Amino acid sequence: MKKLIALLLFIVTLSVRTEAQPEQNKVIDGVIAVVADEIILRSDLENKMTQYRQSGNPVNENTKCTVMEDLMYNKLLLDQAKIDSIEVQESQVNSELSRRIDYFVQQIGSVEKLEEFYGKSIAKIKDEFYDLIKDQMTIQQMQQQLSKDVQVTPKDVREFYNSIDPDSLPYINAQVEVSHIVIDPQINEEEKESTRQKLRELRERVMDGEDFGTLAYLYSEDQGSAEKNGELGFMKRGMLVPEFAAAAFSLEPGEVSGIVETKFGFHLIKVIEKKGQQVNARHILLKPKVSGSDLTRAKAKLDSIRNIITENESISFADMAEKVSTDEKSSKNGGKIINESSGSARFEMNQMSEVDPNLFFVLDKMEPGEISKPVVYNKKDGSKAYRIVRLDTVYEPHRANLEDDYQRIQSVTKAEKQKKLIDEWIQGKIKSTYIKINEQYRECSFEHSWL
């Protein structure tokens, strides 16, 4: 629980802007450094310091100087990105925003809980994060551009590994790699039609003069917006699923849509206002209900799939996952579940118990290569499905070594080479860039010669 709270505090800190500072801080805020035409405010530094503390990093008398240098380095990269015309597309930013929000929803339990914790709707959170994430992605792209030609050979990896004191090698906890095949229950057409009919009746009531917002409050199954009379707040096209965006942007303020089907269910949409490339709308969401028989059919289908895999050596779990799994992300990887916090396929078992307790208990009884019987899958959007799970690989607790952890050590080796190259670039860039630093930070022992 402490880990989760720290994680969420970290997110909140990232989104802090000067206008969110207490009144007394607004008075003393000001420019503390200029890098090219990029400025660093005192509030930027204080917010970054808060983030640093919440991340669990040790803080000492030099920390503020370290954080200050990190901010200046980021401004150098943003300046170079302008020079090199490196620009992150809106669709890329929105995709990354959705990925991060999905991850934190999974951590805290639901969209509603995240909105309650943050005190704002998902749409508002995304809007406040937009510029921050865009800058982060621009910085990452610039770093990648600078270090794209860095390569490491097996010899480099061995030399780096051998340069480390054996007693200093990290201890790796027990890890697993896991794959799954997911089958979402197919909702029967009668239930879908029943849901559409309910929306038709609600639309008629709106057309007869009833207030759309009141009906959204009473009937919408999107709890986050229902409490706000269905209002979503201003959103860009890329922040909405395509079907919803197409309908919302085609309406004029005051107009009410027909029934719109998305992966979330069926919607009625009423546009409140349009502003440039953004739209503010209300919606009423109704979700067709999954029946017990729908779930039973999904389970039976997975039973058959499991039997086909276990009884036919020519059919692999990965091939079957690509063909039949309804989980879009993992099906592209042969069913392999990716650890979103690290980007790798490995999960520490103690981490798994926090991320997905149900899966932890299934895996705890399995041997490598074994395929589970169908088990209920509680998805992060609150819906239920069934899945079968394959325990691909188990890595016992051990000291880091080349045989079991080559990829990890290779990544660290490459990162070290990239850091050396970028350090050299920083020194050259500083010499050709206008830099002004507030007097109180001139005594800092920076890693690079900024003064």
CATH code, 359: 3.10.50.40
- 38 with 112, same domain: the answer is yes
Statement: residue 341 has pLDDT above 80: no
Q: How many domains does the chain have?
A: 3
- 94 with 198, same domain: the answer is no
| Number of neighbouring beta carbons within 10 Å of residue 188 | 16
- 72 with 140, same domain: the answer is yes
C-alpha closest to that of 18 among 7, 6, 5, 32:
32
Q: Average pLDDT of the chain?
A: 88
257 confidence band (pLDDT: 50, 70, 90)? very high
In a domain, 91, yes or no: yes
Q: How far apart are CA 129 and CA 420, in angstroms?
A: 31
- 178 with 302, same domain: the answer is yes
> Which of 286, 313, 348 marks a domain boundary?
286
pLDDT (0 to 100) of residue 349 = 84
- 229 with 217, same domain: the answer is yes
- 280 with 342, same domain: the answer is no
> Which of 253, 286, 319 marks a domain boundary?
286
- 14 with 51, same domain: the answer is yes
Q: How far apart are CA 176 and CA 393, in angstroms?
A: 6
Kindly report, residue by residue over 90-147, the tens digit of the pLDDT. 888 888 888 888 778 777 877 778 888 888 888 888 888 899 999 999 999 999 999 9
Residues 6+ apart with CB under 8 A from 327: 180, 181, 182, 335, 387
- 272 with 358, same domain: the answer is no
In a domain, 228, yes or no: yes
In a domain, 34, yes or no: yes
Kindly report, residue by residue over 377-403, the tens digit of the pLDDT. 988 777 889 999 999 999 999 999 999
- 133 with 270, same domain: the answer is no
In a domain, 80, yes or no: yes
Domain that holds residue 237: 189-286
- 427 with 278, same domain: the answer is no
28 confidence band (pLDDT: 50, 70, 90)? low
Kindly report, residue by residue over 207-251, the tens digit of the pLDDT. 999 999 999 999 999 887 888 899 998 888 888 999 999 999 999
In a domain, 165, yes or no: no
Q: How far apart are CA 17 and CA 89, in angstroms?
A: 23
- CATH, residue 437: 1.10.4030.10
